[in-house]
Amino acid sequence: MKHILDIIDSISEFTGRICRWAVVLLAAVMCYEVFSRYVLGRPTIWSFETSIMLYAFYFMMCASYALLYKAHVAIDFFYERLTKKGQALLDVISTTLFFFPFLVVVFIEGSKFAADSWMLLERSWSDFAPPLYPIKTVIPLTALLLLLQGFAGFYRNIQILLTGECYETKYKEEPLPSCAPVITDIPEVNRIEVEKLEEKKND
Amino acid sequence: MIEMAPGLITILMFVGLLGGLFLGQPLAFVLGGLATIFGVLGWGVDSLSLFINRINGLMEDYTLVAIPLFILMAQLMSKSGVAEGLFKTVQLLFGPVRGGIAVAVVIVSTLLAACTGITGAACVTMGVLGLPIMLKNGYDKKLATGCIAGSSALGILIPPSIMLIVMAEQSGETVGRLFAGAIIPGLILSTLYLTYILYQCWRYPHKGPALPKAERDAVTRPQLFKMLLTSLVPPLILIFGVLGVLFLGIATPTEASASGAFFAFVLYIAYGRFTKKGFIEVLTETAKTSAMVLVVMVGATCFTGVFMGLGGGDVVQEFILGAGFGKWGTFLLMMLICFFLGMFLDWIAIVMITFPIFLPIAQTLGFDTLWFVVAVAVMLQDSFCTPPFGYNLFYLKGCAPPEIKTKHIYLGAIPFWELMELGLVIVCIFPQTVLWLPSILIK
């Protein structure tokens, strides 16, 4: 089972690692459009729809990555004050009540929606006429990725409830920027003095 | 299917929302889960294709494309070290004045707010840069934390602002007009903070002593001038570049956000801060923040769809209009609702839930939509420093030295919160503060 959880975490991690570059592409496409319109004197027909698709792909595909790193905004005011087991219990309850029903619905309905588009090989009405079925497939795909990552969290919480421990994830949030500002511009002489002072303090 | 009175549904959905949030589940999924539960109860399983139509609507919205790009711009700006240079310079500039460092915090926060559309980064930056220096110089802990929490909330109000983009998408106002409308209210707040700090430090000198003479004399005037030039000019070019392009109609707000991100990238390289590792961090943070913001919108759009569809919107509307408070009483009631929701919910969810209900009411009562939206924006930016759940207070606690207790941060935020309400009152008494700039900037 540990193996399966690791695979799920890695899937979220690697979709995130790849998809986070989409925003660079998005910025490049839009800047090219502005450049093309004013410098080359001809607006492109493809940039408008391409940028919308890149944006949709970007935020949807990064959702499970954000879930892996617990970046989705939540109120942890009370949650934080609980024991590890208490937190696991709340998580199990709230994921069963809210998370799974919602994403199962989005997955099923989204699959139908995407399937309809694939059947018609649907294209946009514009001059550029890009195919629409790939971006519509992103909806069930996102739901699936979120469900997988949600399942991994759910399994870990059940483990904690039963045994008090769980298979930890390899991918952890790096600690917040620390309170001590990094002082780089102290001259070397002063730095030695500061270090001496600190040593004295420690004694 | 169960027949439920719309009034009951309204209450149950909001109780469910609070309950779900206190379980610690992410807001996006609580909203989506409630939409699923009440959609199935009210309409049956077949109706839920509604979710996909609404999600697809978000995915096709050109206005919202600016959100990840403005977040990218903010992350690049905070990595470029612009804030550090600016802060150092402004702090020396106001060195002789009592409370000068706090003044520098407010001025730099205001400038950063005009370069970015989010608040978290600015709050952490000022917390890491400004707080240790203020404490070292013997500033009052409450004043020191309050001025950071309060002024960094300006990030979400002063354009570019992702909150105004979401509001534009929800209200049908253009992004350009909202951006133009929020500038003066933002500057009013900034001025109020400055006045408050200067008054407090003049009246109670121990709260914010002036910088020691030795520290001020370490930098000569020509040196200071050069520092000012190198640290102030590039961000000003960015600010006027992004906003100018937008107001002159040269590019759409979305294109302006992309150019802004590009320019921030150039600054990042020009200041010599570019490293491969740092850039990957920028991309990672941008991905997480963008997904977080937009996934809350996904959950909220499903919630609103079910809530309005089951008649909850009408119930709230009848309640507000039926309370018989008159034009301004009703306005006050709506603001109070925003305030209370702001104590628990994220602004994204508040905008998505309340706008479909409040905007028709505001129009019925004869309020100008542009003015009303900006007033709500001023109201909602204060939710960032409302105890107990204001985000800025958490960010600040996260990066503050251990001698700063939660108590200091909460008490320190209160005067600044009051100043925000004063700002709202000014905006209400003088609607021109909102309406004047859009009328001359946007043709």
**ipTM exceeding cut-off 0.85 for this assembly:** yes
A1-19 per-position pLDDT tens digit: 888 999 999 999 999 999 9
Look at A192 and B210; give whichever has higher pLDDT.
Answer: B210
First-last CA distance in chain A? 50
pLDDT at B2 exceeding the cut of 70: no
pLDDT at B389: 75
Average pLDDT of span B74-81: 88
pLDDT at B166: 95
Report the half-sphere exposure of B248 (CA within 13 A, side-chain side).
8
Question: pLDDT value at position B351?
Answer: 95
Element (H, E) at A194: helix A188-202
Nearest CB to B283: which of A20, A48, A69? A20
CA distance B429 to chain A (A): 35
Could you tell me how many residues make up chain B? 443
Higher pLDDT, B220 or B194: B194
Residue B338: pLDDT above 70?
yes
Yes or no, beta carbons of B290 and A59 under 8 Å apart: yes
Q: Which tops the pLDDT comparison, B364 or B1?
A: B364
Place of tokens 């809210």: A98
User: Residue A64: closest CA among chain B residues belongs to which residue?
Assistant: B291
Q: Can you give the pLDDT at residue A13?
A: 94
**Mean pLDDT of all residues in B191-216:** 90
Q: CA-CA-CA-CA torsion for A45, A50, A52, A55, nearest 10 degrees?
A: -150
Mutate to test the interface with A, among B37, B59, B63, B119 (most CBs of A within 10 A): B59
pLDDT at B164: 95
Q: Distance (Å) from the C-alpha of residue B273 to the closest C-alpha of chain A? A: 14
Q: How far apart are the C-alpha atoms of B302 and B51, rounded to whole Å? A: 5
What pLDDT score was predicted for residue A189? 41
Segment A144-198, tens digit of pLDDT? 999 999 999 999 999 999 988 888 888 776 544 433 333 333 334 444 444 555 5
Residue A164 gets the label, from left (phi > 0), alpha (psi -120 to 50) or beta, of left
Q: Write down the pLDDT at residue A145.
A: 97
Which residue in chain A has the smallest CA separation from B61? Answer: A52
> Which pLDDT value is given to residue A183?
36
pLDDT category at B50 given cuts 50, 70, 90 is: very high
- Contact list in A for residue B56 (CB cut-off 8 A) is 113, 136, 139
- Lowest model confidence (mean pLDDT) among A144-153, B27-36, B173-182, B243-252: B243-252
What per-residue confidence (pLDDT) applies to B400?
Answer: 86
Q: Specify which of A40-49, B89-98, B294-303 reaches the highest per-range mean pLDDT.
A: B294-303
Say what the pLDDT of residue A23 is.
96
**B391 pLDDT tier (thresholds 50, 70, 90):** confident
User: Distance of alpha carbon B41 from its chain centroid, rounded?
Assistant: 36
What pTM did the predictor assign?
Answer: 0.90
Cα-to-chain-centroid distance, residue B81: 21
Taking alpha carbons only, the member of B418, B417, B355, B419 closest to residue B392 is: B417
**Per-residue exposure over B99-114, b if at least 16 CB sit within 10 Å of its own CB, e if not:** bbbbbbbbbbbbbbbb
pLDDT at residue B268 greater than cutoff 50? yes
Cβ contacts (< 8 Å) between A87 and chain B: which residues?
Answer: 24
- Kindly indicate the confidence band of residue B266, based on its pLDDT and cuts at 50, 70 and 90: very high
Could you write out the DSSP letters of every residue in B80-105?
A: HTHHHHHHHHHHHHTTTSTTHHHHHH
Q: E strands along chain A, which residues?
A: none
Look at the alpha carbons of A184, A189, A192, A196 in this order and tell me if their dihedral is positive or negative: negative
In percent, the amount of chain B with pLDDT more than 90 equals 64
Confidence of residue B254 (pLDDT cuts 50, 70, 90): very high
Separation of alpha carbons B196 and B185, rounded Å: 17
> pLDDT tens digits for A84-135?
899 999 999 999 999 999 999 999 999 999 999 999 999 988 888 899 999 9
Q: Residue B327: count other Cβ atoms within 10 Å of its Cβ.
A: 12
Angle at which helix B221-247 crosses helix B175-203, to 10 degrees, equals 150
* C-alpha torsion sign, points B418, B87, A179, B135: negative
**Minimum distance, in Å, between the CA of residue B210 and any CA atom of chain A:** 22
Task: Locate B419 and state its tokens.
Answer: 């100043």
Query: Smallest Cβ distance to B255: which of A33, A76, A98?
Result: A33
The better pLDDT of the pair A182, B135 is held by B135
Using a 10 angstrom Cβ sphere, with 0-12 exposed, 13-18 middle and 19 or more buried, the burial of residue B3 is exposed
d(CA B176, CA B436): 13
Instruction: List, in order, residues 6 or more apart from B8 with CB less than 8 Å away.
Output: none
Q: How confident is the model at residue A199 (pLDDT cuts 50, 70, 90)?
A: low
Nearest to B212 by CA among B321, B118, B131, B137: B137
**What CA–CA distance (Å, rounded) separates B179 from B174?**
9
Residue B125 pLDDT greater than 80, yes or no:
yes
Say whether pLDDT at B241 is over 50: yes
What is the overall mean pLDDT for chain B? Answer: 91
Q: Which pLDDT score is estimated for A194?
A: 47
Other Cβ atoms within 10 Å of A28 Cβ, number: 15
User: Where is average pLDDT lowest: A163-172, B54-63, B82-91, B168-177?
Assistant: A163-172
Q: How far apart are CA B337 and CA B351, in angstroms?
A: 12
Which residues from chain A sit within 8 angstroms of residue B296, using beta carbons? 72-73
Q: Which residues of A are less than 8 Å from B62 in CB distance?
A: 48, 51-52
The percentage of residues in chain B with a pLDDT greater than 70, rounded to a whole number, is 99
Give the model's confidence band at B417: pLDDT under 50 very low, under 70 low, under 90 confident, else very high.
Answer: very high
